[in-house]
């Protein structure tokens, strides 16, 4: 997509403020990178449509992911509270996301129109609007989070329309069905001639699970298949989002029934996390597992993609100071985590989605955003500045020993996460809307 030439005044003013703050910290490269990363999503991925909606491509793929599109525009909420152009643009993202979920709440990525692009050969209930139909809990969480933050940032409630309410009811029903995945789920997914991480076992049903109170997910936010069906950080995100739904139901819709339904479901999921999602580690003590199946099996790791265990405070599930989180964080940022890599250039969390020894800037940004000390946040920003591979932009992953080896020349979600950490360091945290 061709870059636009004009940046809105509000964006220029914020860039100037951040530039001044970073120069005071003697970090001119960070200032230049922030400008590139912060404007990149707006200039290259955001497409306003004649119907008022906003289509957001994920970057090098011409499709809109529910998760990525939310994360890509999240930082612009800091502009939306004063600039109607950004408020309207984000409202347009929400409008399109809700329309997509209404088409199919099990799908994770959609086409701009019913053009039949994407993975149409997958063995699942595809239609021409869907790019990919990998069911992920977080794909339903992110649009609700974005709409809630938009409300808190701008005071607008128009996004909570009758269509939005119908979609929320569909999400609640789906999450209840997927609490009983084995007995009730209509969802199946298989892909032919692909890595094992791109398809589900047992004729598309996934590995066996038993009822826990948690809700099942076929895939992780990396779009890789879950090893065990109860993905703990995504269930945590669902608990937080169900709280948002309850608040919307109470204050916007004045609907006590939806409020009660959301809070009851959150309590059931939360109980499941506490019962099945905590394990004893011989070195770190009681920590959260990444995945569980209800039979006593757990998967100990953390992935770079958000929601992750590292992102628990970022999601709003628990405080940074929470002892369980701190123990889990110590595990994640150690060699006990199979996705943690340390090399000559950096150390941090990667993902099975990319090759071994590749660290993800998204995970580094989350590490900074969940750090309690400003010094740690700045240290991580310095690492990100030193590992851009000379591009001035963030990548999907880079090699721990050689930042010149990276996946994706630029990655919009990562650019936005980097920008959010810079803004946080400059005293402009999105937490003010929570």
Q: Which residues of 387-396 are buried (b: 16+ CB within 10 A; e: fewer)?
A: bbbeebbbbb
pLDDT at position 2 is 36
Measure the CA–CA gap between 269 and 371, rounded to whole angstroms: 27
Quote the tokens at residue 20: 């001044």
The dihedral built from the CA positions of residue 208, 210, 211 and 214, taken in this order, carries a sign that is negative
pLDDT at position 434 is 82
Strand-pair partners of 349:
340
pTM: 0.97
pLDDT at position 410 is 86
Query: Residue 252, class by beta-carbon neighbours within 10 Å (0-12 exposed, 13-18 middle, 19+ buried)?
Result: middle
Alpha-carbon 273 to chain mean position: 19
Strand-pair partners of 316:
none
* 434 residues of the chain, pLDDT tens digit each: 334 458 999 999 999 999 999 999 999 999 999 999 999 999 999 999 999 999 999 988 999 999 999 999 999 999 999 999 999 999 999 999 999 999 999 999 999 999 999 999 999 999 999 999 999 999 999 999 999 999 999 999 999 999 999 999 999 999 999 999 999 999 999 999 999 999 999 999 999 999 999 999 999 999 999 999 999 999 999 999 999 999 999 999 999 999 999 999 999 999 999 999 999 999 999 999 999 999 999 999 999 999 999 999 999 999 999 999 999 999 999 999 999 999 999 999 999 999 999 999 999 999 999 999 999 999 999 999 999 999 999 999 999 999 999 999 889 999 999 999 999 999 999 988 88
pLDDT at position 1 is 35
| Helix spans in 104-186 (H) | 137-154, 162-177, 181-184
End-to-end CA distance of the chain: 34
Cβ neighbours for 140, distance < 8 A, ≥ 6 positions apart: 66, 101, 105, 171, 174, 175, 238, 241
| Tokens 């936005």 belong to residue | 416
What angle is formed at CA 173 by the lines to CA 170 and CA 174, rounded to 5 degrees?
85
Strand-pair partners of 359:
398
CB 325 within 8 A of CB 312: yes
Quote the tokens at residue 321: 């100071």
| Tokens 């011409």 belong to residue | 62
Quote the tokens at residue 379: 């240290």
Q: What is the CA radius of gyration of the chain?
A: 20
pLDDT at position 109 is 98
Strand-pair partners of 280:
286
Measure the CA–CA gap between 127 and 106, rounded to whole angstroms: 12
Return the closest-CA partner of residue 106 out of 174, 56, 53.
174
Quote the tokens at residue 81: 């509270």
pLDDT at position 60 is 84
pLDDT at position 3 is 44
Alpha-carbon 267 to chain mean position: 22
* 3-class secondary structure, 3: coil
pLDDT at position 319 is 97
Quote the tokens at residue 115: 């053009």
Q: What is the DSSP letter of 322?
A: -
pLDDT at position 5 is 52
pLDDT at position 6 is 84
Cβ neighbours for 67, distance < 8 A, ≥ 6 positions apart: 108, 136, 138, 139, 142, 221
Cα–Cα distances (Å) from 345 to 266, 332, 400, in that order, read: 41, 19, 5
Question: Residues 265, 266, 271, 273: what is their CA dihedral angle, to the nearest 10 degrees?
Answer: 120
Measure the CA–CA gap between 332 and 85, rounded to whole angstroms: 40
């Amino acid at each position: 997509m061709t870059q636009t030439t004009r940046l809105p005044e509000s964006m220029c003013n914020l860039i100037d403020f951040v530039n001044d703050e970073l120069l005071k910290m003697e970090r001119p490269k960070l200032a230049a990178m922030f400008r590139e990363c912060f404007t990149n999503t707006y200039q290259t991925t955001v497409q306003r449509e004649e119907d008022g909606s906003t289509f957001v491509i994920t970057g090098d793929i011409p499709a809109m992911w529910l998760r990525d599109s939310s994360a890509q525009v999240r930082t612009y909420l800091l502009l939306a509270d004063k600039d109607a152009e950004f408020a309207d643009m984000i409202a347009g993202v929400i409008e399109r996301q809700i329309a997509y979920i209404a088409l199919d709440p099990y799908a994770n990525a959609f086409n701009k129109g019913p053009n039949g692009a994407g993975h149409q050969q997958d063995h699942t209930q595809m239609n021409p609007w869907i790019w990919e139909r990998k069911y992920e809990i977080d794909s339903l969480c992110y649009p609700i989070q974005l709409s809630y933050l938009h409300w808190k940032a701008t005071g607008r409630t128009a996004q909570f329309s009758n269509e939005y309410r119908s979609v929320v009811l569909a999400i609640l029903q789906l999450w209840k069905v997927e609490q009983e995945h084995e007995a009730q789920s209509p969802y199946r997914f298989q892909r032919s001639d692909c890595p094992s991480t791109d398809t589900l076992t047992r004729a598309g049903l996934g590995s066996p699970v038993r009822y826990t109170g948690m809700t099942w997910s076929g895939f992780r936010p990396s779009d890789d298949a879950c090893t065990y069906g109860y993905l703990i950080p995504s269930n945590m995100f669902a608990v937080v989002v169900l709280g948002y739904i309850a608040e919307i139901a109470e204050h916007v819709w004045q609907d006590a029934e939806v409020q009660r339904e959301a809070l009851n479901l959150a309590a059931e999921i939360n109980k499941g996390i506490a019962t099945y999602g905590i394990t004893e580690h011989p070195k770190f003590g009681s920590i959260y597992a990444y995945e569980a199946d209800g039979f006593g099996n757990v998967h100990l790791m953390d992935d770079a993609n958000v929601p992750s265990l590292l992102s628990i405070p970022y999601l709003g599930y628990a405080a940074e100071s929470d002892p369980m989180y701190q123990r889990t964080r110590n595990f994640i940022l150690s060699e006990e985590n199979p996705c943690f890599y340390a090399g000559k250039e950096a150390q941090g969390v990667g993902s099975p989605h990319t090759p071994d020894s590749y660290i993800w800037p998204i995970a580094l940004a989350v590490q900074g955003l969940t750090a309690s000390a400003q010094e740690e946040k700045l240290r991580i920003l310095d690492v990100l500045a030193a590992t851009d591979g000379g591009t001035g932009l963030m990548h999907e992953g880079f090699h721990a020993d050689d930042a010149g080896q990276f996946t994706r020349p630029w990655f919009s979600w990562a650019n936005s996460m980097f920008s959010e950490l810079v803004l946080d360091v400059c005293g402009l945290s999105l937490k003010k809307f929570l």
